[in-house]
Amino acid sequence: MKTGALFVVLLSMAWSCDGYLDQFSMDKLSTEAEVSPSFAAPVAYGNFSIQDILEAVNDSSGLISQTEDSLLYIYFSDTAFAFEAGEFLDVPDQNAVDFRFRIGSEVNELSGIDLDLWGSLLEGQEYSFQNYEKIEFTTETDDRIDSIVLNSGTLNLELYSDLRHDGTINIQSSSIIDSDGNQLDTVYIISDLSGNYDVTKVVDLAGYTFVMSHSNDSTFVDMSFLLNFTLSSAGISADENVGIKVSVVDIGFQALYGFIGEREVANMEESIDLNFFDNVDGLPDFYFADPQFSLSVHNSYGVPLSLNIQNLGARSATDGTYTTLDFEDDKNVFQVAAPTVDQLGETVTSEWNINTETSNIDELISSVPDKIDISFLATIGSPEGTTAQNFFLENSKMELETEVILPLWFSTSGYTLKDTLDIDLSDIMSNVSFIEGLNLRLTTTNEWPLELLAQIYFLDDSDSIVASLFDEKKALISASPVDEETGLLDEVALEPYVLPVMLDSDDLNGMEDATRMMLEITVVTSTTSEGLVVPVKFLSKYMLNYQVSLGVDFRINPMELGLE
C-alpha cells in the first residue's frame, strides 16, 4: 500500500474548502473504479495602489504629493542660492587722511596758525584756531551712499604736535551721530612741552550713523577740529607741525541707504540631486507631458536684481548624458523686484515658471535625471538715471528657490511591478501522478488607465524561477475605461478581467519545489495609430486589485493505493 500517496490525497482533501475528508467513507470505496475529486480555493490576493508604488520607490524622500482632485505629482524644492548683504556690498576701510594745520603769517586763523597773531600774545594766554575738513567715503565707482548705520567700526584719531605748549583739541561732526542722537563731540588734552606729542585715540562706532554729503562725484562727512593752546615760554617756528590723521576701519553696517550702481556677481553655480529614481530597478522610459521648473527669488534688499540663466542642464540617470534647457526667444533673463524704502524689512518675491510653452523642459525632465546643474549670472544695482533710493540692511538677503513639479501625466514604453507571495505547493505537488489537472485563475480589476502585461512565476526557496504560468507571451490586461469628457475612470463600464489557465500533469513538472509565487505586471501606455505614446493622468485612488484562485483535480485509482 502506498501510504505516502494516500497521505497526500487525504491531506489535500482535508485542506480543500469542500471538506472532502468528511464526505467520503473509505471502506465503501470501489476497487474497480477511479475517483476524480477536486477542490478550488483562493490562494492569493492583493492590490497595487499608484500612490503606494511611488512611495515605495522613494519611501524616504517624501516627494509624492497630490492635488485636491487626487492627481498625483512629484514635487521637489531646494534653496539653490542664498546671499547675505555683505556678499553684495562691502564698505572698505577709509584710509587715513592727514589734516595738517598750516603755520605761517599768510594763513588766516580759521585754517592755520597766524605767526604774527601768535607773537603778539603773552605767556599764559590762550590761542585758538579751527579747521574744517571732509572725510571721503568710497565704495564702488557708481555708488552713492546717503547714510550708513554701523554695527561695528572704529574711528582712529592719531594726534601729533611739535608745539611746545599745553593745549586741547576738540573734534566735532554733525554728520556722525551716536545711537542716542548726539553728534560726535570729543576733547583730547595735548600736554607735552617737549614737542613730541603723538597719541592715537579710538572711538568705537557701533551704533553710530554717518550722514553723508555729496559734491560732484565725492561722498564725504564733514568734521571740524578746534585747537586751543596755552602759550608757554617756548616760541613757535614755521617748520613745526600740528595735526590729526583720521581713518575709519572695520566697518560693518546695520543699514545703508543711497544709490547702488550696477555690478555683476559671478560664479553662481549649484547642483540639485534628484534622488527620486534612486531605488527604481531598471529605469523606465518616462515622458512627462507637463513638467514645470519654477524659480522663486525672495529679496529683502532694497536693490533691484536681474538673473541670467547661463546654463541649466540635467544628467540622465540611465546613461549619464546631458540635456540642456533651451528657452523660447532666448528669454533667460529675469528681473527681480525689490522692496522700496517704505517696505523696509519686508521681502518681495518674484516667480517664474519654466514650462513646455517657454522651453524644452519636457525633453530635459524626460531624460530621467538624477542631477540638475544650474549656473546664473546675477546683476544687482539700479540702472543709471534711476532716482529711487536703494538700501541694504544687515539682515537683508536674497534667496533663490527652485521647484520641480512633475504631474503624473506621463507615458512609458514599459515599467515592471512585482509582488511576491508565499504559496507552499510542496504537499500538493509531492506526487504529480495523482493530479489530473491544475486550474489557476487570475482575476483583476484594473482602474489604471494603462495596459498591463501579466505573468506569474513560481519560485523555490532560493527565489529561483522553477516554472511560469505563460510560456511565451504575457497575458494582456486592458486599460481601464476612461470618460472622454472628464478623462477620469468610467466606474460604470469597469468590469473584472478573468484569466483562466489549465495545466495538465505534464505542465506541472518542476512546480513541486515552488514555495513562492510572484505576480509580475508590466505597465505600458497606449499608443496612437502613428505609434506615438499617449500621456495619461494618474489619481491616487486608482487601484489594481487581483486575486489568484487555485483548483486541483485529483485522479484516485484504488488499485494504485493498494486498496484492491
Mean pLDDT value across residues 113-117 = 79
As a whole number of angstroms, the distance between CA 340 and CA 431 comes to 87
Residue 56 parent element (H or E): helix 50-57
Among 259, 285, 304, the domain-final residue is 259
Domain co-membership, 532 together with 557: yes
Across 37-46, 170-179, 473-482, 531-540, the highest mean pLDDT is recorded for: 170-179
270 within some domain: yes
282 within some domain: yes
451 within some domain: yes
* Predicted confidence band of residue 101 (pLDDT cuts 50, 70, 90): confident
Distance set, CA 553 to CA 13, 45, 85, 301, 503 (Å): 11, 22, 82, 81, 10
Q: Which domain holds residue 94?
A: 90-259
pLDDT above 70 covers a percentage of the chain that reads 73
46 within some domain: yes
* Predicted confidence band of residue 471 (pLDDT cuts 50, 70, 90): low
The pLDDT mean for the chain works out to 75
Domain co-membership, 150 together with 173: yes
Mean pLDDT value across residues 23-47 = 49
**Cβ atoms < 10 Å from Cβ of 348:** 16
pLDDT of residue 209: 96
Number of domains forming the structure of the chain = 3
Domain co-membership, 151 together with 251: yes
Helices (H), 67-226: 85-88, 115-119
Across 10-24, 125-139, 522-536, the highest mean pLDDT is recorded for: 125-139
Domain co-membership, 244 together with 210: yes
Residue 430 parent element (H or E): none
Give pLDDT tens digits for 487-496: 677 888 888 8
Domain co-membership, 390 together with 430: no
Domain co-membership, 106 together with 244: yes
Nearest of 205, 30, 17 to residue 558 by alpha carbon: 30
Dihedral Cα 27, 32, 33, 37, nearest 10 deg: 30
Contact 77, 401 (CB under 8 A): yes
Among 407, 432, 466, the domain-final residue is 407
Domain co-membership, 182 together with 304: no
Domain co-membership, 328 together with 433: no
Q: What is the pTM of this model?
A: 0.61
The per-type count for the chain, helices as H runs and strands as E runs, is 7, 34
Domain co-membership, 123 together with 49: no
Which three three-digit cell numbers place residue 28?
465503501
Residue 281 parent element (H or E): none
29 within some domain: yes
Among 242, 259, 276, the domain-final residue is 259
Distance set, CA 65 to CA 53, 354, 363, 477 (Å): 13, 20, 23, 28
Contact 489, 445 (CB under 8 A): no
Tell me the CATH number at 455: 2.60.290.20
pLDDT of residue 257: 92
15 within some domain: yes
Domain co-membership, 340 together with 232: no
Beta bridge partners of 220: 136, 213
DSSP state of 505: G
Domain co-membership, 244 together with 266: no
